[in-house]
Amino acid sequence: MAAEVEGAEAAQPAASAEKKKKLQQQQKAAEASRGKASFLATAWLILYNTVMTAGWLVLAVSMARYGLAKGSNRGLYRSIEKTLKIFQTGALLEVVHCATGIVPSSAVLTAFQVSSRVFLVWAVTDSVKPVQNEYSVLIYLSAWTLTEIVRYSFYTFSLLKYLPRAIKWARYTLFIVLYPLGVTGELLTIYHALPHVYRSKLFAYPLPNALNISFDYYYFLIIVMISYVPIFPQLYFHMMSQRKKVLGEPKAKES
Ligand SMILES: CCCCCCCCCCCCC/C=C/C(=O)SCCNC(=O)CCNC(=O)[C@H](O)C(C)(C)COP(=O)(O)OP(=O)(O)OC[C@H]1O[C@@H](n2cnc3c(N)ncnc32)[C@H](O)[C@@H]1OP(=O)(O)O
């Protein structure tokens, strides 16, 4: 009996050492898989941001060439719409990046930013043809293009750990002017679309109908315009606080 107890006592430290070793192995495996996931996420983001920078650069060059050749904005939207649709719609992936946590940005703010622009391309500019030649389209296209070239190249260079100071400065400074400019172009485009939508009853779903609900796109557009009032300042002041965080004055050295 005494020999049995002695044997059990001797086996205890061996079992706990075995348990500890197993735990360490599990921790190592988890760390390795986290490292692999973070490597894959970084590789994906470098690819995504590089492709998006290139796409918006193509748009900028196409717009400049069109302007130089025609000297007018008439027909500009038609000439760049394919590229614009691909790269603006591709920005929806940014919401996925935030929601899955591979980038630390707010999914809600990013969703407002991206969805309003995707909506403007597909549901306003593309669907209401007469607005395509308005100057307001040129205004928002110019603001978006310049912003996105700087923003996506900023992310690419940051991920590559080689960030030129000028790009960092531009990322957190140009928005001060480009954000209100872009929003002005967007709101004016929706405003120009209103009479056409009203006349053509575009996307209207009047009563009576099987679902017994009605939808009037004209009023929906007015609601979208009004929703800029509470939402845009939040995006703008978020960018202001990002600017302060990144470009803020360095703390004075203690004497
Ligand atoms: C039916 C729909 C109707 C909706 C109606 C709603 C009304 C909406 C009203 C508002 C409309 C706005 C329309 C937009 C107009 C324009 O864009 S005009 C042109 C000017 N625009 C801008 O300047 C855009 C500025 N805005 C933004 O950049 C974003 O929208 C943002 C969400 C406000 C950005 O915030 P955030 O991501 O937090 O800032 P960052 O500092 O850039 O990033 C924070 C950290 O996240 C990392 N990160 C983000 N994205 C990436 C990425 N793609 N790849 C890698 N890393 C990324 C970034 O590096 C930061 O990381 P840290 O440095 O570690 O903090």
Select which of 66, 152, 186, 217 is catalytic.
Answer: 186
Task: Report the atom number in ligand 1 closest to the C-alpha of 114.
Answer: 30
The full set of domain ranges for the chain reads: 36-247
Q: Confirm whether 186 is a catalytic residue.
A: yes
Task: Report the atom number in ligand 1 closest to the C-alpha of 228.
Answer: 9
Q: What is the mean pLDDT of residues 167-174?
A: 98
Closest CA to 226 of 116, 129, 62: 116
Pocket of ligand 1 (CB under 6 A): 45, 49, 94, 97, 103-105, 109-110, 112-113, 115-117, 119, 143-144, 147, 151, 155, 158-159, 175, 178-179, 182-183, 186, 224, 227-228, 231-232, 235, 238-239, 242
Q: Report the DSSP beta bridge partners of residue 205.
A: 215
Q: Tell how far the Cα of 58 is from the centroid of ligand 1, in angstroms.
A: 21
- Ligand 1: which of 94, 113, 177, 234 to mutate, most ligand atoms within 8 Å of CB? 113
CA distance linking residue 87 with residue 62, whole number of Å = 14
| Lowest-confidence region among 17-31, 71-85, 88-102, 204-218 | 17-31
Task: Report the atom number in ligand 1 closest to the C-alpha of 235.
Answer: 33
Structural contact between residues 52 and 91, judged by C-beta atoms closer than 8 angstroms: yes
Please determine, for residue 6, whether its predicted confidence score (pLDDT) is greater than 70. Answer: no
Q: What is the pLDDT of residues 86-115, one digit of tens each?
A: 999 999 999 999 999 999 999 999 999 999
Q: What is the pLDDT of residues 65-80, one digit of tens each?
A: 999 999 999 999 999 9
Q: Tell how far the Cα of 249 is from the centroid of ligand 1, in angstroms.
A: 22
Q: Tell how far the Cα of 236 is from the centroid of ligand 1, in angstroms.
A: 10
Q: Confirm whether 4 is a catalytic residue.
A: no
Please determine, for residue 9, whether its predicted confidence score (pLDDT) is greater than 80. Answer: no
Burial class (CB in 10 A: 0-12, 13-18, 19+), 21: exposed
